[in-house]
Chains A and B, each alone.
Chain A
């Protein structure tokens, strides 16, 4: 490129050009050089800017051409590109390089601010006054470029232009599938559309990794799906769906790692879900919350299961492989059950790896009706414990009772009623939950507390919730054997009322000591509904230092 260098000034110029690590093309540089030599009067501030222009490709400037004319002739191809193309180029530059382009000229000044990676995410919010056809047309215009994320949200509103119907939603789904979408999110928050909608997933989601469906009506995945219709699908969230053809989906998703079902009214026909239909099951996290028609959960092949969250007004039975090492367990089953031990507590595999345990305190209360259930267990211990209870309760109670006072009575009353629909109904549930933990720990004692001591405790509590003595925990320690919860870091109890049986459990963790770094309780109503957000821990009972 130096071959053109003649005069001293030219040479200077060419050196400058040559410094550029990889100038666009040799031809340009050479031309630039030649012309530069003729323009000694450079702008003082930016020497290169005004004097150095080259003619574009074909048009080699005449030597005699006046400099100013030449400048105007020169074409600035890059600045005349449409903005989206320039942004596309900026998106390929490292950030500092992109920012520096702000100094190029006024046409570039603020462009870099809008530099974005090639839009591979579509987040569509459809309002009823929007025209669905325009939405679809805009998708058509975008073309079938690859999509990382496609989110469609239908909002509520009045005076719809035309309802975005199932047909339109299906076209969106087809589009997302054609763009090889990796994350798909559909939320029909417009209730009336939601309840009447019926989505049938098209084939072709070969790249889909995350699927989340919110407030949808009927969802089906087609009977014709092959066993690998969703070969990449790892995460499924389905919340508030009226009905879901879950089996079809699960059997077509061999790589599934997380299944999260909440508030789904109907799941398949028989109320049984087979979470691990595939031989090599990758499932690590299973959540089934408030899907109150599910009666059976089969996860027998999910050997890698680490997180299990169950919450239901019923009493679903479940099957978990004994080799699964759970680390996070949430249990809030409030349905009636006459043999908890047999039916579900023993279903829990080894809990030695458990780090986080959350139980709904409702389960700890003793429903009057459930006496028979548990009564079979030892009654002897009760007597001994009673005296101890009162004293033990005190310290934790004080802390807790402050928050709890108002609700206690109400909740207790409710318990007796035992409706399934309400949270408090849980006659049998809570007691059962206690058992889960403690039974794992020690089965005999727990029942006793719950059954017989509770009435006693309640009386005490009602009278004077706040003023109680400081506790002595020694008594319980004697009985506590070693249990397998060596790795437990956090124990949470929801809907904590500070009642005796709850305190027993707390003191168990305190005394056990081996495990707990934190014991938290929360009494917020409906907390079990929010447990996805870490249970809104509002009151810390104890901060234990292992």
Chain B
């Protein structure tokens, strides 16, 4: 994978002792290898940051048994896009206003990034992001999923996500009455 040399060097000067390489190699559950900038990995994933700091990164490919190659490719892709398209300060820098929402709307490129994913690839990516502790990617993917639910009736949501309705008729009626006000505009 491409590596941002500038960042890599900066990283290197900071962590002289530790790093002779500015990328890390990740291995998917089906054995494929991916390379990602160490700086981006450490910044975007708390788990990878921990592994890098803890020295448990394997130069021959760090095993990520829970993540398939398709999802891992997306993760790596996201990291690289992130490193290239956003100045790293943008995420870290804070606004001064007091009630800043913790959630930041996805950027245009992030939207596109998740929009092109298939249904399953999207969920694979959510799970991978969750496993790797990638908060921003979780925000972006969960946002996409919430968009898919927004404004839909329960029937429609079930349809989109293949949710099996296991309520009895009576239970469902009960719920409808309980939450009637939320269904008014159906």
Chain A residues packing against B (C-beta within 8 Å): 16-17, 19-25, 27-28, 32, 43, 45-50, 52-54, 56-58, 71, 74-79, 81-82, 85, 88-97, 99-106, 108-109, 117-118, 120, 143-146, 148, 180, 182, 206-207, 209-210, 231-232, 234, 255
Q: List 5 A-B contacts (CB under 8 A).
A: A53-B164, A78-B123, A102-B179, A180-B94, A206-B94
Q: Does residue B1 face the partner (Cβ distance < 8 Å to A)?
A: no
Task: List B residues 86-115 near A (Cβ within 8 Å).
Answer: 92, 94, 96, 98, 100-103
B residues near A58, Cβ cutoff 8 Å: 120
Q: How far is the CB of A176 from chain B (nearest CB, A)?
A: 13
Partner of A77, one of B102, B151, B161, B183: B161
Query: Interface 1/0s, chain B 137-165, versus A by CB < 8 A?
Result: 01100110111111111111111111111
Partner of B154, one of A101, A117, A210: A101
CA separation between A435 and B63, bound complex, in Å?
79
A residues near B123, Cβ cutoff 8 Å: 77-78, 81
CA separation between A22 and B150, bound complex, in Å?
9
Which stretch, B19-27, B32-40, B167-175, touches the partner chain A? B167-175
Pair A96/B92 contact, Cβ less than 8 Å: no
Pair A93/B146 contact, Cβ less than 8 Å: yes
Scoring B98, B138, B149 by chain A CB atoms within 10 A of each residue's CB, the highest score goes to B149
Partner of A22, one of B121, B147, B157: B147
Scoring A48, A79, A210 by chain B CB atoms within 10 A of each residue's CB, the highest score goes to A48
Q: Does residue B119 face the partner (Cβ distance < 8 Å to A)?
A: yes
CA separation between A192 and B138, bound complex, in Å?
43
A residues near B148, Cβ cutoff 8 Å: 22-24
Partner of B46, one of A48, A143, A210: A143
B residues near A182, Cβ cutoff 8 Å: 94, 98, 100
Q: Does residue B58 face the partner (Cβ distance < 8 Å to A)?
A: no
Partner of A49, one of B118, B122, B155, B185: B155
CA separation between A508 and B180, bound complex, in Å?
61
A residues near B100, Cβ cutoff 8 Å: 148, 182
CA separation between A530 and B152, bound complex, in Å?
53
Scoring B94, B130, B147, B172 by chain A CB atoms within 10 A of each residue's CB, the highest score goes to B94
CA separation between A97 and B39, bound complex, in Å?
38
Q: Name the residue of chain A whose CB is nearest to the CB of B156.
A: A20
Partner of B155, one of A21, A46, A120: A46
Chain B residues packing against A (C-beta within 8 Å): 46, 92, 94, 96, 98, 100-103, 118-123, 126-127, 130, 133, 135, 138-139, 142-143, 145-167, 169, 171-172, 175-176, 178-179, 182-183, 185
Q: How far is the CB of B150 from chain A (nearest CB, A)?
A: 6
List the 8 closest pairs (A to B, CB-CB), nearest first: A49-B165, A57-B120, A207-B94, A143-B46, A92-B146, A99-B182, A120-B102, A77-B123
A residues near B164, Cβ cutoff 8 Å: 49-50, 53, 71, 76, 105
B residues near A17, Cβ cutoff 8 Å: 159
Pair A48/B147 contact, Cβ less than 8 Å: no
B residues near A105, Cβ cutoff 8 Å: 158, 163-167
Q: How far is the CB of A139 from chain B (nearest CB, A)?
A: 12
CA separation between A104 and B102, bound complex, in Å?
28
CA separation between A423 and B162, bound complex, in Å?
72
Q: How far is the CB of B143 from chain A (nearest CB, A)?
A: 6
Pair B162/A89 contact, Cβ less than 8 Å: no
Pair A20/B165 contact, Cβ less than 8 Å: no
CA separation between A525 and B118, bound complex, in Å?
71
Partner of A88, one of B138, B165, B176: B138
Pair B161/A78 contact, Cβ less than 8 Å: yes
Contact A104 B158, CB 8 Å, known A27-B119, A71-B164, A99-B179? yes
Scoring A24, A58, A102, A148 by chain B CB atoms within 10 A of each residue's CB, the highest score goes to A24
Pair B119/A57 contact, Cβ less than 8 Å: yes
CA separation between A58 and B164, bound complex, in Å?
20
Pair A79/B161 contact, Cβ less than 8 Å: yes
Q: How far is the CB of A424 from chain B (nearest CB, A)?
A: 42
Partner of B176, one of A27, A52, A103: A103
Q: Name the residue of chain B whose CB is nearest to the CB of A48.
A: B155
CA separation between A94 and B103, bound complex, in Å?
14
CA separation between A180 and B94, bound complex, in Å?
7
Q: How far is the CB of B123 from chain A (nearest CB, A)?
A: 4
Given A20-B156, A24-B119, A232-B94, 8 more pairs with CB closer than 8 A? A20-B160, A23-B160, A27-B118, A53-B164, A56-B119, A76-B162, A106-B171, A180-B94
Contact A104 B119, CB 8 Å, known A23-B160, A52-B159, A78-B145? no
Partner of B138, one of A53, A85, A144: A85
Pair A117/B165 contact, Cβ less than 8 Å: no
Pair B165/A21 contact, Cβ less than 8 Å: no
Q: Name the residue of chain B whose CB is nearest to the CB of A74.
A: B162
CA separation between A82 and B126, bound complex, in Å?
10
Partner of A82, one of B101, B130, B146: B130
Q: How far is the CB of B104 from chain A (nearest CB, A)?
A: 9
A residues near B138, Cβ cutoff 8 Å: 85, 88
Q: How far is the CB of B178 from chain A (nearest CB, A)?
A: 8
Contact A21 B151, CB 8 Å, known A28-B160, A76-B162, A105-B167? yes
Partner of A100, one of B120, B130, B143, B154: B154
A residues near B102, Cβ cutoff 8 Å: 117-118, 120, 146, 148
Partner of A92, one of B130, B143, B179: B143
A residues near B169, Cβ cutoff 8 Å: 45
Q: How far is the CB of B141 from chain A (nearest CB, A)?
A: 9
Q: How far is the CB of B56 from chain A (nearest CB, A)?
A: 15
Pair A100/B179 contact, Cβ less than 8 Å: yes
A residues near B101, Cβ cutoff 8 Å: 117
Pair A103/B146 contact, Cβ less than 8 Å: no
Partner of A209, one of B98, B143, B151: B98
CA separation between A16 and B153, bound complex, in Å?
12
Scoring A46, A76, A117 by chain B CB atoms within 10 A of each residue's CB, the highest score goes to A46
Pair A118/B161 contact, Cβ less than 8 Å: no
Pair B161/A46 contact, Cβ less than 8 Å: no
B residues near A50, Cβ cutoff 8 Å: 164-165
A residues near B143, Cβ cutoff 8 Å: 92
Pair B155/A93 contact, Cβ less than 8 Å: no
